[in-house]
Amino acid sequence: MKTYLVGGAVRDRLLGLAPGDRDFVVVGATPEAMEAAGFRPVGRDFPVFLHPDTGEEHALARTERKSGRGYRGFVVHADPAVTLEQDLERRDFTINAIAEDADGNLVDPFGGVSDLEARVLRHVGPAFVEDPLRVLRAARFMARFAPLGFRVAGETQALMRGMAAGGELADLVPERVWQELSRALASARPSAFLHTLHEAGALDAVLPEVAALYGVPQRAEYHPEIDTGIHTGMVCDMAATLAPGDAVVGFAAMTHDLGKALTPPAEWPKHIGHEQRGVAPLRALCERLKVPSAHRELAVLACREHLNVHRLFEVRDRTVHTLLERCDAFRKPARIALLATVCEADKRGRLGLADVPYPQGPELLRLLDAARAVQARDVLREGMTGPAIGEALARARIAAIGRARSEPVT
Ligand SMILES: Nc1ncnc2c1ncn2[C@@H]1O[C@H](COP(=O)(O)OP(=O)(O)OP(=O)(O)O)[C@@H](O)[C@H]1O
């Protein structure tokens, strides 16, 4: 029995990146031999064991066959006769199919090292088409590796297009789609995830609300990039710069303009009312993919309020107060900083405008602080009832916002 390190840990080390989880493959072993050596079995579907000391995953070398659609009909076959090469052959990309033995020797039958050097994401073999999740994995790896200069190989793109056209992506379960999407949104270049799927004709199957933004024009004086799909990707990338690794901010960035896909084309390139129009498709997307509530709540706020935040210096004190109330900011102040970040990403996620200042962000936080400093006990008078307290509190907070706005910013 021989153990090899495989997958992401080998790939990331060769790229000079800090490796994440280590996965191992064990050749020439039986489940009984693994358990006798102290390994603990996990799950029933795959022959995977946890190391008794490190807890790291050790999988028996295996082959896979598939007869059904989507995830149906996968037959996993693991016995001591399965070779390392056979195990590597069923993996998705050549850069993920490099193994390393305990002495540091690489086993690389599919040219993964040269693809790493050439910055190419290439499928290992024809079995690639058996798992539709691999289309999403390709897009997610691009979100992570595009900044290093990676591209998808032409022949892999062709397979991805065929898989999308064959309708296989419709079979993906929402949890897997969300897992890949949220990881992509937490990567350095989420736009590469969206554009890779769009180019493969696969975005429509997983994110039709976002796919519908491509080809929708916007006013060139505000949006030199014009296309709403391109703008959306740029906003996601800017969000990844402003809040690295934060998929809550990233998801709101991706969905803030969904309403623009519903503007009647006769009104293009204007999108009056797109903030309100975007809420319904956003909620539909969240329901379908079972998006966690933290992501959904910020996204709904950003969708509805982003124009109000952009116009913060023009609107009345009362409107600022209403904005804060609609965001439930007096109970949940932390979400205002996140909202401000999404709005800043929207403003700077435009062609040639990446460096424009966004003073609305700090200003919104300053006004929130001023309004929060006023408490119910400050306005309470004898004999006041509930609604009267609420009105007095609102009036006092609006006045505090007004005073803060007239003071010089320190
Ligand atoms: N759907 C799949 N199809 C084929 N091979 C897969 C698939 N999922 C995982 N693998 C293989 O298992 C390895 C470990 O998978 P995992 O999902 O942990 O990704 P990873 O490559 O380690 O990347 P990351 O660092 O992003 O987690 C991959 O490198 C790949 O070899």
Using one digit for the tens of pLDDT, what is the confidence trace for 321-350? 999 999 999 999 999 999 999 999 999 999
**Interval 87-119: pLDDT, tens:** 999 999 999 999 999 999 999 999 999 999 999
Does residue 269's CB lie within 6 angstroms of at least one atom of ligand 1?
no
Does residue 123's CB lie within 6 angstroms of at least one atom of ligand 1?
no
pLDDT category of residue 69 using cuts at 50, 70 and 90: low
Using a pLDDT cut of 90, give the percent of the chain over it: 88
CA 167 / ligand 1 centre spacing (Å): 23
What's the mean pLDDT when you consider all of the chain?
95
Q: Distance between CA 276 and CA 298 in Å, rounded?
A: 15
147 in helix, strand or coil? helix
The fold adopted by the segment(s) 207-372 is: Hypothetical protein af1432 (1.10.3210)
Q: Flag whether pLDDT at 409 surpasses 90.
A: no
Does residue 134's CB lie within 6 angstroms of at least one atom of ligand 1?
yes
Does residue 305's CB lie within 6 angstroms of at least one atom of ligand 1?
no
Nearest CA to ligand 1 atom 10: 91
Does residue 133's CB lie within 6 angstroms of at least one atom of ligand 1?
yes
Q: Flag whether pLDDT at 298 surpasses 80.
A: yes
Q: Any known ligand binding at 204? A: no
Q: Flag whether pLDDT at 24 surpasses 70.
A: yes
- Residue showing tokens 């809550």: 248
Q: Does ipTM come in above 0.90?
A: yes
Q: Flag whether pLDDT at 45 surpasses 70.
A: no
pTM, whole model, 2 decimals? 0.95
CA distances (Å), 329 to each of 319, 333, 376, in order?
A: 14, 5, 15
Q: Distance between CA 240 and CA 234 in Å, rounded?
A: 10
CA 57 / ligand 1 centre spacing (Å): 12
**Interval 145-161: pLDDT, tens:** 999 999 999 999 999 99
- What pLDDT sits at residue 31? 92
CA 89 / ligand 1 centre spacing (Å): 13
pLDDT category of residue 408 using cuts at 50, 70 and 90: confident
- What pLDDT sits at residue 355? 96
User: What ligand 1 atom has the least distance to the C-alpha of 88?
Assistant: 31
Q: Which CATH superfamily is domain 1-124 in?
A: Beta Polymerase, domain 2 (3.30.460.10)
Domain residue spans of the chain: 1-124, 207-372
β partners of residue 27 = 2
